[in-house]
Amino acid sequence: MGQLSGKPSALLVVSDNYLAKQLTESLHIQGYKTVRAPLARDCYSAWSSPERFSLCLIDQHLEDQPGYVLAKYLAENKAKNVVLFGNLTDAEMRLGLYKAGVNLLLREPEGTAEIIAAIEAMATPVVRHSSKPASVV
């Protein structure tokens, strides 16, 4: 997964106004600038310069197009850190999205806290600690 660096900006594609407001506030606290696209067609318009977004957060339940279609498009067109959340029960679809380059799929997250925690985990380098000494060959 790509690291989030610098002054990150997020493309937030969420139809639900209340959820979008919560996510925008949470992302702002994390230091993100957000650009909201309430519909898929708004996202396509905002996508004229993909390098400006360090994160694309997409709701599966958009009013004008399923979020997975948009997530796949963004992943195939140089998006960094594409996250799709919502009712994602079709295993074959999820596998196809990962193969297309979608970074993270959150199935039925319990709210904005879980979504933000997942985004933070994407930005944190993985450090593995071992209690066993390294083997010498």
Query: What residue spans define the domains of the chain?
Result: 9-123
pLDDT at position 6: 58
Is 83 in contact with 57 (CB distance < 8 Å)?
Answer: yes
pTM above the 0.85 mark? no
CB atoms within 10 A of CB 130: 6
CATH superfamily, region 9-123:
Response regulator (3.40.50.2300)
d(CA 61, CA 39): 10
Per-residue pLDDT of the chain (137 residues; tens, 9 = 90+): 444 455 578 888 888 889 999 999 999 988 888 989 999 999 988 887 767 788 899 999 999 999 999 999 999 988 889 999 999 999 999 999 999 999 999 999 998 999 999 988 887 665 555 555 555 55
CB atoms within 10 A of CB 94: 16
